Amino acid sequence: MRAEVRAVDGVPRLSEGDELGSYLPHDADVVAVASTAVSKVEGRVRPLDGFEPSERAESLAERNDADPRFTEAVLNESTELLIEEPFFLAVTRFGHVAPNAGIDRSNVEGDGNVVLLPEDPGESAGRIADTIGTPVVVTDTCGRAFRRGQTGVAVGWACIDAVRDWRGEEDLHGHELKATEEAVVDEIAGFANAAMGEGGGGTPAVAFYGVEAIVGSADDDTVFRREEDDIVRSALLDFKP
């Protein structure tokens, strides 16, 4: 397979109500879009002063030397905190696990504003895919347990298989694969993050060509582990005081 990845040029600074799909190519095999871009057009930029800290937020903020307003924002966007100190590791309302519920204090205009993740990134991806007629992956930057640094991960997708199941197929030596499930949308998100760039010179969208062999057509599976299968999540909850 020979693939080509192109950063999408010409995307302006986005605001609520902008039609993001009008800036994206219609001829790619997959288009990856940064969650911050999606959030901005969906009106998910919020002033910190709009969050009234609860008693729990005040307590957690004091333990972490954090802004109580930001802490309240994290609680509002979460169904559960897996880690409460020295940082917040949260389960978002759509199942993603991320520090601070994925709330971003960078890449946003105005002092005291934050960018929340899209309310439902899967639905967001679906709307963009309907507009451009191309599979879409919505990405976010996230750290990894046991490793330094951040990479892109998929938080929403449409018209693409999230996972390719290799179980039952044979490897190069004829052995049956027993456990291999390839996280296709995360692989796309990781490469997209490298192509988007970080800091002030980045672009919020990347187009992939020549990857139709790995795309598939479904979007009803997920990369988020089921709670009952996630031993790390269980261990973190058992460890909480």
Measured from the Cβ of residue 127, the count of other Cβ atoms closer than 10 Å reads 14
Q: Work out the pLDDT band at 201, boundaries 50, 70, 90.
A: low
Tokens of 61: 């903020």
- Encode pLDDT of 94-129 as tens digits: 999 999 999 998 878 878 999 999 999 999 999 999
State the Rg of the chain over Cα: 19
Is residue 153 scored above 90 in pLDDT? yes
Task: Identify the structural domains of the chain with CATH numbers, from first to last.
Answer: 1-43+120-223 (3.30.1330.100), 45-117 (3.90.1660.10)
Q: Give the lowest-confidence range in 114-123, 139-148, 215-224.
A: 215-224
Dist CA 235 CA 241 (whole Å) = 12
Mean pLDDT of 47-59: 97
CA dihedral 171, 172, 175, 179 (to 10 degrees): -20
Mean pLDDT of the chain: 91
φ and ψ at residue 127, rounded to 5 degrees: -65, -40
Mean pLDDT of 206-224: 78
Nearest in space to 143 (alpha carbons), one of 184, 100, 181: 100
- Encode pLDDT of 6-41 as tens digits: 999 999 999 999 999 999 999 999 999 999 999 999
Is residue 233 scored above 70 in pLDDT? yes
Q: What pLDDT sits at residue 200?
A: 63
Dist CA 91 CA 74 (whole Å) = 10
Kindly report the pTM of this predicted structure: 0.92
Using CB atoms within 10 Å of the CB of residue 174, give its burial: 0 to 12 exposed, 13 to 18 middle, 19+ buried. exposed
- Encode pLDDT of 179-192 as tens digits: 888 889 999 999 99
